[in-house]
Amino acid sequence: MQSIAAVVMMMLLGGVCQAQDAPPPPERVLPVDPVELVGGNETLGNPELTVERDGYFYRFASPANREAFLANPEKYELADGGACGRMGALSGLGDARRFVVHEGRIYAFASEGCRAGFLKDPEKSIDRPDSAPSGTDEQIEQGRATVDRLVAWAGGRERLAAVSSYQHRIERIVPNGETTARVVSRAGIQYPAIYVRGECWEDSCWVFAACEKRGVLVSGDKREALAQSRVEVLRRTMGRLPLEAIRASIAEDFVAVSDGEGEIDGTRVEFVRTWHAGVGLRLGVEKEMGRLVSLAYRGREGGGNVQAHTCRYTKYGTVEGVTLPKAWWTRSGEKQSQTTLAEIVLNQPVELPDLP
């Protein structure tokens, strides 16, 4: 079985963007004028007034609307770079002919079922950046003190700041019809801004990879460049990993606000709400030793609903002087699952070739 890194290398070196010699596929063409659509009107666009952006083709009813789009494409383009509005930015692309306008944004969908699911409750489908918490001076001071104890437990500020990369591997055997399948999941971060996240079911692999504002999705023999908005969702998703949650405290924009005390499985903890670059978390930190006991966030996992998730850590390991969780239970709504890391690797290069 090829590793995810090998898949990324092979597929990206093969190129992501191909020349458009043939007409664009119909599912990548928004047939109505997006400027009119955001304004509440469905007006067919003129094929002679077409703009291509992130692999989608937008048609306009007038040159003025085309210029309005070019002046502010983020306002009028498909949300999440055209990814399915129900399944989220870290999924496959939607069909531009199957769309919904919600709160001034245009969403595309992979199927009518996805479209119907979105319309039933849009808030369960939209993964927005988190807002920074606020509090009194006392809460902010206490929150910072709690995070400082967490940082000391994890190995100290200097050691955390010196970490150049993080990678982990998860291995599972899951039911697959009448047999079972070996599933290997990987995640990697190389600071300051390389992110890789993927999974292999036996020999069938997918991977999201990004550096700065560029990214790619590789799935089997298919590959597609990621819009910047999808890269941002990947970055925020990776920002919920324990190392990122702790290491964020060294950033200038980091916010920590005390959120009271409580008990988790017999352990007294102090809760603190943290925020960095659009990632908001609620950490449970052991009152006595500063150990990370829990981490809660709102987001999407595995293509499901955007909802509350809480991780409760059960085992820990120390790698190159940095202590991190290596096993935990996750409660997502009414469901609960267990995760155990097969491997944590620090300070080794995360393979990533040039991106489009």
Task: Confirm whether 10 is domain-assigned.
Answer: no
- Count of domains for the chain: 2
Choosing from 77, 102, 124, the residue where a domain stops is 124
User: What amino acid is encoded at 94 in this protein?
Assistant: G
Chain CA centroid to CA 186, Å: 14
55 & 183 share domain: no
288 & 341 share domain: yes
208 & 333 share domain: yes
Q: What is the CATH number of the domain that holds 158?
A: 2.50.20.10
Q: Model confidence over 99-122: pLDDT tens digits?
A: 999 999 999 999 999 999 999 999
Task: Confirm whether 132 is domain-assigned.
Answer: no
111 & 256 share domain: no
Q: Model confidence over 40-57: pLDDT tens digits?
A: 999 999 999 999 999 999
User: What amino acid is encoded at 38 in this protein?
Assistant: V
Please state whether the predicted TM-score (pTM) of the whole model is above 0.85: yes
Chain mean pLDDT for the chain: 92
Q: Model confidence over 177-216: pLDDT tens digits?
A: 889 999 999 999 999 999 999 999 988 899 999 999 899 9
Q: Tokens 């930190």 label which residue?
A: 285
Are 238 and 244 spatial neighbours (Cβ–Cβ below 8 Å)? yes
Are 167 and 184 spatial neighbours (Cβ–Cβ below 8 Å)? no
Choosing from 95, 124, 153, the residue where a domain stops is 124
311 & 214 share domain: yes
Helix (H, G, I), strand (E, B) or coil at 71: helix
101 & 171 share domain: no
Task: Confirm whether 356 is domain-assigned.
Answer: no
Task: Confirm whether 209 is domain-assigned.
Answer: yes
205 & 60 share domain: no
> Residue 177 carries which DSSP code?
T
User: What whole-number distance in Å separates Cα of residue 243 and Cα of residue 91?
Assistant: 25
30 & 160 share domain: no
Q: Mean pLDDT throughout 301-317? A: 92
Following DSSP, what letter does each residue of 214-278 receive, concatenated?
A: EEEEEETTEEEEEPHHHHHHHHHHHTTSHHHHHHGGGSTT-EEEEEEEEEETTEEEEEEEEEETT
316 & 245 share domain: yes
| Alpha helices per DSSP H over 121-171 | 137-154, 157-162
Choosing from 101, 124, 147, the residue where a domain stops is 124
Task: Confirm whether 305 is domain-assigned.
Answer: yes
213 & 331 share domain: yes
pLDDT at 235: 97
Task: Confirm whether 67 is domain-assigned.
Answer: yes
Domain of 25 in residue numbering reads as 17-124
212 & 271 share domain: yes
Task: Confirm whether 310 is domain-assigned.
Answer: yes
Cα within 13 Å of Cα(256), Cβ side: 25
pLDDT at 333: 84
The dihedrals phi and psi of 237, each to the nearest 5 degrees, come to -60, -45
Question: Which residue in 124, 106, 92, 85 sits closest to 300, CA to CA?
Answer: 124
Task: Confirm whether 8 is domain-assigned.
Answer: no
- Angle among Cα 326, 327, 332 to the nearest 5 degrees reads 130
What count of other Cβ atoms lies within 10 Å of the Cβ of residue 220? 11
199 & 312 share domain: yes
pLDDT at 79: 98
**Residues in a beta bridge with 46:** 60
> Residue 15 carries which DSSP code?
-
